[in-house]
Amino acid sequence: MIIQTILFLVFAGLAVAGAVSLILQRHPIHCALSLIVVMVSLAGLYLLLGAEFVAAVQIIVYAGAIMVLFVFVIMLLNAGEEERTNLSRLARAAGVPLALALTAVLGVIITKAVRVGAAKPLLPTATRNLALLLFKDYVFPFELTSFLILVAILGAVVLAQRER
Amino acid sequence: MNTLVAGFPLLAVTVVKVVVLLFVVLTALAYLTWFERKVVAHIQTRWGPYRVGPHGLLQPLADGLKFLFKEDPAPAGAERFVYYLAPFLAMTLALTTFAVIPFGPQDMRIFGQRTPLGITDLNIGLLILFAITSLGVYGVALAGWSSNSKYPLLGGLRSSAQMFSYELALTLSVVGVLLMAGSFRLREIIEAQQGRLWGVLPRWNIIASPFPQVLGFLCYFVAAVAETNRAPFDLPEAESELVAGFHTEYASFKFAMFFMGEYANMITVSCLAAIMFFGGWISPFPPTQAWAWTAFLPAALLAALGLYLFFDGLRYETLLGRTVLPLLGAALGALAAFLALHPGANAFIQGPFWFLLKVLLFLFFYVWARGTLPRLRYDQLMAIGWKLLLPLSLANVLLTSLLLAWKQK
Amino acid sequence: MPLTSECLILSALLFGLGVAGFIFKRNLITIFMAVELMLNAVNLAFVAFSRVWGMDGQVFVFFVIVVAAAEAAVGLAIIILIARNRQSLNVERVDFLKL
């Protein structure tokens, strides 16, 4: 049990540190690296919660493909450091407490939503059950997402073409 | 120390295994460079490293010392944090993949605990391996970008595009094996290949029953060679094309880290090929009484190597060679005798011996391909990855699943 | 159960940080990354709930990751176009309806 708490604290701390670094860094490449740290620590949290296949998919797809796309775009567009913004003082003074308030409200609401009850036991064949669900109950959304990816590929290729 | 061991036995045992494995892997990396230089040299009818120590065996040590003591300039406008992070990422991720590879079937005892021969045994071991490999793209891309220079940027972009293009074919070519084994655990994949076909041939996945995974293996190996940026797919880091690609602006130790990462990736990929397609630690000979003499093959091989070293060392040129080589030969011969006479150690060494033999075979194929084949042009490279390997691996998945479903009816 | 509540609080925290990043940052790509952070926070909530309520949460995480991938591809293509046209990635320079 204590190992679980320590690991949770480590991963949660890394995730929050990465998220704060995402906001505070000025160069987009540093923001991208912080986001990768967040994603990898979230994958560790998924492993702690027993979702092993989702953890692996998170690293392979999210941290290993989507973020590579981000890093490529940053490198190709030669994005430099952010300039100093001329945001109004009122917005900055009111924005921070409001963001905190939003976080607090969200936290309270979703923590109250957890019904009191025992957690289901960690299934040793979690991948098999996930696959059964995905290909039996949710097969229609699954096929729709493949169509969605096709449309997205077409869109990205057409949009990012070199100008004739 | 004893209380640490008693309180966290699993942690202490794992730390010992990690330290030993790191030591073994880093030495293996160093001598893999020696192996490559010797083999490529002999393919090109020359001798390779010969002077630094007998048969050039101290060459990796000399290279390591050189990397430690060389000057380490950083380019002027380089983004410092990312510039230092990239080689560290490349090497660390490459070394982490060794945590999930099983080396042998039997357990061993450390501090009185029984532990399997391999650091961990995850339920999703294969997926974690691919996850760590897919993170390796960052080392290359960030290195190319952070050097603040044209050629590294181009080389880094090309290298990373090549790496994640071939990742698709790599992952798909393994799905056939997964279907036949029914699990992501590497130990279960090996155990599913036990048994014999027609009494004699081993039921390795490459010749196993529903659909021999030959196509899968070929796709896997070609994709793996491209994934690790090795010849004939090493255009992004070839000298005649882009100076040295993404590691142009890296000197001494950081360059050594890239180098080590690349060779560690090679070893990981060879280990995976041995596990998934050639049965891992399963011996090619049947475990019946008639073939029981094959249990002495490791000892015999070690003895033969020891004898060769002994007699070669006696007539070697330098004095150092004349003393070291025969001693080495005698030590190997003594080890072989110990193995032959001690049945417990002999039984323990069987699994790892066959596994290491297969890994060495694949490493030899890697080096052979480097010494023989010409380099592919970048557009040819990407065309092979997307237009040839991806459809072939998909076809492999389709055929395997069809035959498996038909067989199960 | 003991881990789910903490993960939910962390998810809310990450979501709030994502919103803060979305509002306060000026670079287009960084804003997009804040959106991805919000999606990740939601994924964490899904997985935390699936620990208590069943496997459907993980199936949903799967779909969210796929949709995020499609969205990232198209969104980054649009960002490349904007950068080409306005020569700047500052969101304060792309606030005219007419180019």
CA atoms within a 13 Å half-sphere pointing along the CA-CB vector of B78: 22
Residues B196-250: tens digit of each pLDDT: 776 667 777 777 777 888 899 999 999 999 998 887 887 766 655 556 667 777 7
CA angle B105, B107, B108 (to 5 degrees): 135
* Cβ neighbours of residue C81 closer than 8 Å, sequence gap 6 or more: A159, A160
Do residue A138 and residue A63 come from a single domain? no
Q: What is the pLDDT of residue C23?
A: 85
Task: Classify residue A55: in a domain, yes or no.
Answer: yes
Residues A66-93: tens digit of each pLDDT: 999 999 999 888 877 776 666 666 777 7
Instruction: Pick the range with the lowest mean pLDDT from A45-49, B6-10, B24-28, B55-59.
Output: B6-10
Indicate the residue of A65, A87, A142 with minimum beta-carbon distance to C69: A65
Q: What is the pLDDT of residue A13?
A: 95
- Count CB-CB contacts under 10 A for residue A26: 15
- Would you call A12 and C10 a contact, using CB atoms and an 8 Å cutoff? yes
From residue A34, how far is each of B82, B93, B133, C45 by CA, in Å?
12, 17, 19, 20
- Would you call C90 and A83 a contact, using CB atoms and an 8 Å cutoff? yes
Task: Classify residue B215: in a domain, yes or no.
Answer: yes
Give the model's confidence band at B166: pLDDT under 50 very low, under 70 low, under 90 confident, else very high. very high
Residue A31 has pLDDT above 90, yes or no: yes
Sign of CA dihedral B5, B10, B13, B16: negative
Candidates C4, C15, C59, C94, partner chain A, best to mutate (most A CBs within 10 A): C59
Q: What percent of chain A is modeled with pLDDT above 70?
A: 87
**For the ranges B49-58, B107-116, B166-175, C1-10, the one whose mean pLDDT is highest:** B166-175
Candidates C46, C47, C53, partner chain A, best to mutate (most A CBs within 10 A): C47
Indicate the residue of A30, A55, A72 with minimum beta-carbon distance to B141: A72
Give the model's confidence band at A123: pLDDT under 50 very low, under 70 low, under 90 confident, else very high. low
Indicate the residue of C26, C52, C69 with minimum beta-carbon distance to A83: C26
Q: What is the pLDDT of residue A86?
A: 65
Instruction: Pick the range with the lowest mean pLDDT from B215-224, B244-253, B310-319, C86-95.
Output: B244-253
Cα separation, B362 vs B224, in Å, equals 11
Mean pLDDT of chain B: 86
Task: Classify residue A112: in a domain, yes or no.
Answer: no
A-to-B residue pairs, Cβ atoms closer than 8 angstroms: 65
Mean pLDDT across the stretch B280-300?
83
Candidates B142, B163, B186, partner chain A, best to mutate (most A CBs within 10 A): B142
| Residue with more model confidence, B197 or B155 | B155
Q: What is the pLDDT of residue B5?
A: 60
Residues B256-276: tens digit of each pLDDT: 888 899 999 999 999 999 999
Domain-terminating residue out of A28, A51, A81: A81
Instruction: Quickly list DSSP for B218-262.
Output: HHHHHHHHHHTT-TTS-GGG-HHHHTTGGGTT--HHHHHHHHHHH
Using a CB-CB cut-off of 8 Å, the residues of chain C touching A65 are 69
- CB of C59 less than 8 A from some CB of A: yes
- CB of A71 less than 8 A from some CB of B: yes
**Interface partners of C (3+ CB pairs, < 8 Å)?**
A
- The number of folded domains in chain A is 2
Residue A9 has pLDDT above 90, yes or no: yes
Q: Tell which CATH architecture fits domain C2-93.
A: Orthogonal Bundle (1.10)
Preceding amide of B326 cis, omega within 30: no
- Would you call A56 and B128 a contact, using CB atoms and an 8 Å cutoff? yes
Mean pLDDT across the stretch B65-92?
86
Cα separation, A1 vs B148, in Å, equals 48
Q: How many angstroms separate the CA of residue A40 from the nearest CA in chain B?
A: 10
Instruction: Quickly list DSSP for B77-122.
Output: T--HHHHHHHHHHHHHHHHHGGGG----SSEEEETTEEEESSS---
- CB of C62 less than 8 A from some CB of A: yes
| Residue with more model confidence, C85 or B3 | C85
Length of chain C: 99
Mean pLDDT across the stretch A30-45?
95
Secondary structure of residue C27 in the 3-state scheme? strand
- The number of folded domains in chain B is 1
Cα separation, A81 vs A83, in Å, equals 6
| Residue with more model confidence, C88 or B265 | B265
Q: What percent of chain C is modeled with pLDDT above 70?
A: 96
The alpha carbon of A35 is separated from its chain's Cα centroid by a whole number of angstroms, namely 8
Using a CB-CB cut-off of 8 Å, the residues of chain A touching B128 are 56
**Hey, what are A83's tokens?**
């300039």
Q: What is the pLDDT of residue B3?
A: 61
Mean pLDDT of chain A: 85
| Residue with more model confidence, B250 or B360 | B360
Residue C97 has pLDDT above 70, yes or no: yes
Q: How many angstroms separate the CA of residue A123 from the nearest CA in chain C?
A: 10
Task: Classify residue B367: in a domain, yes or no.
Answer: no
Task: Classify residue B90: in a domain, yes or no.
Answer: yes
Task: Classify residue B241: in a domain, yes or no.
Answer: yes
Task: Classify residue B183: in a domain, yes or no.
Answer: yes
Any idea where the domains of chain C sit in the sequence? 2-93
Structural domain including A132 reads: 123-164
Q: What is the pLDDT of residue B55?
A: 85
* Cβ neighbours of residue C4 closer than 8 Å, sequence gap 6 or more: A49, A114, A119, C48, C49, C51, C52
Instruction: Pick the range with the lowest mean pLDDT from A61-65, B8-12, C18-22, C71-75.
Output: B8-12
- CB of A6 less than 8 A from some CB of B: no
- Would you call B85 and A33 a contact, using CB atoms and an 8 Å cutoff? yes
> Please, do chains C and B touch (3+ CB pairs < 8 Å)?
no
Q: What is the pLDDT of residue B35?
A: 93
- Would you call B137 and A68 a contact, using CB atoms and an 8 Å cutoff? yes
Task: Classify residue B310: in a domain, yes or no.
Answer: no
**Which chain A residue has the Cα nearest residue B122?**
A52
Mean pLDDT across the stretch A97-125?
72
- CB of A24 less than 8 A from some CB of C: no
Residues B82-134: tens digit of each pLDDT: 888 999 999 999 999 999 999 888 777 777 777 888 888 888 889 999 999 99
Cα separation, A11 vs A22, in Å, equals 16
Using a CB-CB cut-off of 8 Å, the residues of chain C touching A42 are 40, 43-44
Task: Classify residue B47: in a domain, yes or no.
Answer: no
- CB of A82 less than 8 A from some CB of C: yes
Secondary structure of residue B201 in the 3-state scheme? strand
**Interface partners of A (3+ CB pairs, < 8 Å)?**
B, C
From residue A72, how far is each of A68, A121, B139, B142, B161 by CA, in Å?
6, 41, 13, 9, 9
**Which chain C residue has the Cα nearest residue A86?**
C92
Task: Classify residue B403: in a domain, yes or no.
Answer: yes
Structural domain including B397 reads: 61-282+374-408
**Which chain A residue has the Cα nearest residue C85?**
A163
Task: Classify residue A43: in a domain, yes or no.
Answer: yes
Mean pLDDT across the stretch A105-111?
79
Mean pLDDT across the stretch B165-175?
92
- CB of C38 less than 8 A from some CB of A: no
Do residue A76 and residue A137 come from a single domain? no
Task: Classify residue A152: in a domain, yes or no.
Answer: yes
Using a CB-CB cut-off of 8 Å, the residues of chain B touching A64 are 131, 134-135, 137, 164
**Which chain A residue has the Cα nearest residue B125?**
A56
**Which chain C residue has the Cα nearest residue A30?**
C30
Q: What is the pLDDT of residue A118?
A: 56
Q: What is the pLDDT of residue A29?
A: 92
